[in-house]
Amino acid sequence: MTLIAGIDPARLEALRSREAARFVAAHPKSAAALARGAGNYLDGVPLHWMKDWPMPHLPVVESAKGARITDIDGHTIHDFCLGDTGSMFGHSPPPVARAIKAQAGRGLTYMLPSEAALEAGRLLTATFGAFEWQIATTATDANRFALRVARAVTGRPKVLVFHGCYHGTVDDAMVCLENGVTVNRPGLLGQVADLTQLAVAAEFNDLASVEAALKAGDVAAILTEPVMTNSCMVLPAPGFHEGLRALATQYGALLIIDETHTISSGHGGYTRVHGLQPDIFVVGKCVAGGIPTSVWGLNAATAARYHKANAARASGHSGMGTTLSANPMQFACLEATLSQVMTPGAYAHMESLAETLQQGLSKAIAQHNLPWHAIRVGARVEFICAPGPLKNGTEAALAHVHAVESAVHVALLNRGCLIAPFHNMMLISPATRAPQVRALIRAFEEVLEALT
């Protein structure tokens, strides 16, 4: 018998079918509501990513508060997905909810700054470091605009990304390695352009592969997360970030650090906690407490080069910005989040519970003799159904075992714990409490017991 990630396939199938039936039996109201309303949406969902949840159908949410979601079937569940980071500081953090209420009657978008905008700028620098900031709405947009600046100041066409990375739906970054050669990602819809004209892929933790790509002299920027969080979780090897910084400087490429997920690392993100030195800093998702907002900032040298390039261009569209960006609601929420929510004290709480979670999951994995591991970057924990630590995106791709992961996710949800789809990610928010973490560890133990 061939085991799947150490699991007997018959036991896996028994768990999968039992848990699917249990989910359906427990969610009749959600099923009825979907039957009434989902048909108006393409494929039955308002965002096609929702098809990636592994449940037989979606639960319909009634409300969410702190680290809990209540569905219309009356289940209140512990939320460790937290909107895949958008709600990493908890659902509707009270200072953000108050800021929304206060701004709601004072105009929602007017393409002019508010006083909160000016205070938010000060707070961004105090929190993340000396960058000159711009506000966008999604992290995807922030990365796209950062890339435009990188190309403008270097006059080079390509972005270097890591195999298995994700930086949003940034077309240019949608490449991967196939037998060591950069190719368009196979899953892209409607991809008729050859992205390898604009991008080159290298392996994370492999400075030689980075240098080989940079040698061509056509790379405007290296775009990377400090930790790969979108292909399982791959931590940087000692010296990797120092090497990356040195190579970028040596070959005249900018270094863009995308902190959208690694903002879980601690106050100021991985960059502040570990002393990285990006030329451009990007963070999105949770930076304004869940109101769609992203920020990107240039260090002084890059800002100086930007001013030169910008002065030299013809008037007309820059290719950067979107109409609803930098609106007063974003600033009210950004100011509230940076000053009252994203605090060192909140991070201390998040980190401590995340460590408890990682240890609890690791212990359960060891007790059941599974070839798995649990890993963490600050408040972000992941269990991986393969031995670790993983070195790069190629190893991470092989470590994904959809059949096991999807069955475990549904079984955890039936035990009251929601974790992220796509991967096995669990986030701790300032609102998450120790009994919730204990409930997740207990649920995980129970599921492993059933599988082994």
- The binder of ligand PMP chosen from 258, 279, 382, 395 (CB under 6 A): 258
Q: Which two tokens stand for residue 380?
A: 């972000």
Closest CA to 59 of 85, 95, 22, 11: 22
Could you say which residues in the range 265-284 bind ligand PMP, by CB under 6 A? 284
Which region, judged by CB under 6 A, interacts with ligand PMP, from 138-146, 320-328, 329-337, 435-443? 138-146
Which region, judged by CB under 6 A, interacts with ligand PMP, from 15-23, 134-142, 231-239, 375-383? 134-142
Q: Which two tokens stand for residue 444?
A: 């995980």
Q: Please state the closest distance from residue 418 (CB atom) to ligand PMP, in A.
A: 17
Closest CA to 60 of 32, 102, 25, 19: 32
- The binder of ligand PMP chosen from 90, 93, 121, 168 (CB under 6 A): 168
Which region, judged by CB under 6 A, interacts with ligand PMP, from 145-153, 254-262, 306-314, 322-330? 254-262
> Is position 285 an interface residue for ligand PMP (rule: CB under 6 A)?
yes
- The binder of ligand PMP chosen from 5, 67, 120, 139 (CB under 6 A): 139
Q: Kindly tell me the burial class for residue 372, based on how many C-beta atoms sit within 10 Å of its own C-beta (0-12, 13-18, 19 or more).
A: buried
Closest CA to 117 of 303, 297, 340, 326: 326
CB nearer to ligand PMP: give 326 or 370.
326
> Is position 225 an interface residue for ligand PMP (rule: CB under 6 A)?
yes
Q: Which two tokens stand for residue 199?
A: 């991008």
Which residue number is nearest to ligand PMP in terms of Cβ? Answer: 168
> Is position 380 an interface residue for ligand PMP (rule: CB under 6 A)?
no
Asked if 56 and 22 count as a contact pair (C-beta separation under 8 A), the reply is no
Which region, judged by CB under 6 A, interacts with ligand PMP, from 161-169, 185-193, 328-336, 398-406? 161-169
Asked if 157 and 220 count as a contact pair (C-beta separation under 8 A), the reply is yes
Q: Which two tokens stand for residue 426?
A: 């669990």
- The binder of ligand PMP chosen from 127, 134, 138, 265 (CB under 6 A): 138
Q: Which two tokens stand for residue 335?
A: 């100011």
- Close Cβ partners of 71 (under 8 Å, ≥ 6 residues apart): 27, 30, 59, 60, 61, 62, 77
Q: Kindly tell me the burial class for residue 79, based on how many C-beta atoms sit within 10 Å of its own C-beta (0-12, 13-18, 19 or more).
A: buried
- Close Cβ partners of 289 (under 8 Å, ≥ 6 residues apart): 89, 93, 95, 96, 333, 336, 337, 341
> Is position 414 an interface residue for ligand PMP (rule: CB under 6 A)?
no
CB nearer to ligand PMP: give 164 or 168.
168
Task: Please state the three-class secondary structure of 2-43 as a single string.
Answer: CCECCECHHHHHHHHHHHHHHHHHHCHHHHHHHHHHHHHCHH
How crowded is residue 190: how many other Cβ atoms within 10 Å of its Cβ? 5
Q: Please state the closest distance from residue 167 (CB atom) to ligand PMP, in A.
A: 4
Pairing between β-strand 294-298 and β-strand 373-377 as defined by DSSP bridges: unpaired
> Is position 331 an interface residue for ligand PMP (rule: CB under 6 A)?
no
Binding-residue total with ligand PMP (CB under 6 A): 14
CB nearer to ligand PMP: give 92 or 293.
293
> Is position 424 an interface residue for ligand PMP (rule: CB under 6 A)?
no
Which region, judged by CB under 6 A, interacts with ligand PMP, from 258-266, 303-311, 343-351, 423-431? 258-266
Which region, judged by CB under 6 A, interacts with ligand PMP, from 57-65, 136-144, 146-154, 361-369? 136-144
> Is position 260 an interface residue for ligand PMP (rule: CB under 6 A)?
yes
- The binder of ligand PMP chosen from 167, 305, 373, 409 (CB under 6 A): 167
Q: Please state the closest distance from residue 374 (CB atom) to ligand PMP, in A.
A: 20
- Close Cβ partners of 29 (under 8 Å, ≥ 6 residues apart): 60, 72, 73, 74
| Contacts to ligand PMP by CB under 6 A | 138-140, 143, 166-168, 225, 230, 258, 260-261, 284-285
